[in-house]
Amino acid sequence: MDIAVTTELAIFSVQDGALRVLLETGATDGLPKAPFPGDADLDRFAAALLSRLTGFDGVYIEQLYSFGRRSQNTAMTGVTVAYFALIPPAVSSTVRSGLYWQPLNENWHLPNEQREVLELATQRLRDKLGYSSIALPLMPEEFTLGHLQEVYEIIGGEALDKRNFRKRILSLAYVEETGRQRRNGSHRPAMLYRARNPGRVEILR
Amino acid sequence: MDIAVTTELAIFSVQDGALRVLLETGATDGLPKAPFPGDADLDRFAAALLSRLTGFDGVYIEQLYSFGRRSQNTAMTGVTVAYFALIPPAVSSTVRSGLYWQPLNENWHLPNEQREVLELATQRLRDKLGYSSIALPLMPEEFTLGHLQEVYEIIGGEALDKRNFRKRILSLAYVEETGRQRRNGSHRPAMLYRARNPGRVEILR
DNA sequence: CATGATGGTGTTCCTTTGACACTATGTCAA
DNA sequence: TTGACATAGTGTCAAAGGAACACCATCATG
């Protein structure tokens, strides 16, 4: 009656203007996963796997869903526990070799069960954008409000009004000024902000 | 590397003015559960277990969370997949013997891990009350708005304004009039309503 | 027919949300 | 030096949504 349990991760990051998911190269490319040994805590195991894959520690990870009897095609049966994680724009060196960042707005092949996980994860991300500070784990330590708005727009898939966006974000007090500025190109420099509670995603309302 | 997988159910119902959870009598009373055989779909298996326990078929059930390495005390290790389900006020005969309805507002003993599941489930129920039609699976086929409000108040734990409640519910159009009335005691009879989409919990906004 | 018990109904105010356009400050090139 | 360009930053108004609030209606019963 014992069963193979697999942990599967949908790891997101926003890079070069696109929401991307981390894929593992292999026989068929797919979401990174590992067999769960059973002698550890599931959530801790997933977090450790995330850290091993990306080099990031203590970043956002959340359990998504558990599936029984995945992949009806293959003979393999078992239980898959899917997680979804968010990491800041990665310096390329931090990600382990054999992994790459796949933009979500392109079309590419992914096994059906993994596509289901991925869609569930992106849906969750989009939903939480509206009632939590879920975007912050995707940001670098310091960022401008313009950059934050860009991330919201990339995930949400629609343009936002700048004034309303800033009003809302500042009233929610997710973020605070660092006092420093970023001078970027040939234009007015922008104030830099940071998360008020780094590593903590807060729910609103 | 294979692991025992257990399915655990937190089944709620509102009866006699209290939110109650279905417990199984045993060495220590607790949430009903069953080993997952691995040759079935997890969600289907949980639904079948629910049906076997309560006699209700096709009622509301939702996956809650999966835990690894439960019960650090006992030697037993494994994965537990917890579900939460809602059933209408049960005619007592439908529930299998060895089971009983425990009111949540009393204090009683429950193993720690199961208490965690139960608190997660009640929290989810309370949250969803605000943005979905989650209360309907708890109602009988026909019900009055007063009865529906009572269920909201029992779950939410606070009194609601009658006029605002009715305005909101009717504008959301979860429910529709049956045209029939219930004459109950020595007072004005109440209109009966039914779910517009029985068996379907809708998310709002 | 008076009492008691629950059913049913609208308005007002306040807060929140969404639409909308112009000035500020820096770099760069002519 | 100054004009062009690019992004940063700022306030108002109207509409919608949510919360507070009190009275009449209808039935059974004694």
Please determine whether the domains at A5-131 and A136-195 fall in the same fold group of CATH. no
Closest nucleotide to the alpha carbon of A167, via C1': D10
Write out the H or E segment, with its range, that includes residue A146: helix A145-156
Distance CA(B133)–CA(A105), nearest Å, equals 33
B2-15 and B18-24 as β-strands: parallel, antiparallel, unpaired? antiparallel
CB B69 within 8 A of CB B32: no
Q: Count of alpha carbons within 13 Å of A63, Cβ hemisphere only? A: 20
Positions in chain A short of pLDDT 50:
none
Nearest one of B84, B160, B169, B177 to B133, comparing CA atoms: B169
CB A154 within 8 A of CB A17: yes
A136-195: CATH topology:
Arc Repressor Mutant, subunit A (1.10.10)
Percent of chain A surpassing pLDDT 90: 84
pLDDT of residue B39: 85
Chain A: which residues have CB within 8 Å of chain B? 1-5, 35-43, 45, 63, 65-69, 77-79, 81
Question: Which residues are CB-contacts of B130 (< 8 A; sequence separation ≥ 6)?
Answer: none
Look at residue A54 and give its three-state secondary structure.
helix
Contact list, B41 vs chain A (CB under 8 Å): 68-69
For residue range A152-204, what is the model confidence (pLDDT) as tens digits? 999 999 999 999 999 999 999 999 999 999 998 899 999 999 999 998 999 98
pLDDT (average), residues B32-44: 93
Nucleotides of chain D in contact with protein CB (under 7 A) are 4-12, 18-22, 25-29
B2-15 and B79-86 as β-strands: parallel, antiparallel, unpaired? parallel
Contact list, A40 vs chain B (CB under 8 Å): 68-69
Looking at CA atoms only, how far is residue A36 from chain B in angstroms? Answer: 8
A5-131: CATH topology:
Nucleoside Triphosphate Pyrophosphohydrolase (3.90.79)
Nucleotides of chain C in contact with protein CB (under 7 A) are 4-11, 17-21, 24-28
pLDDT of residue A70: 66
Look at residue A142 and give its three-state secondary structure.
coil
Looking at CA atoms only, how far is residue A42 from chain B in angstroms? Answer: 4
Distance CA(B16)–CA(A59), nearest Å, equals 46
Give residue limits of the domains in chain A.
5-131, 136-195
- Distance between the alpha carbon (CA) of B101 and the C1' atom of C11, Å: 44
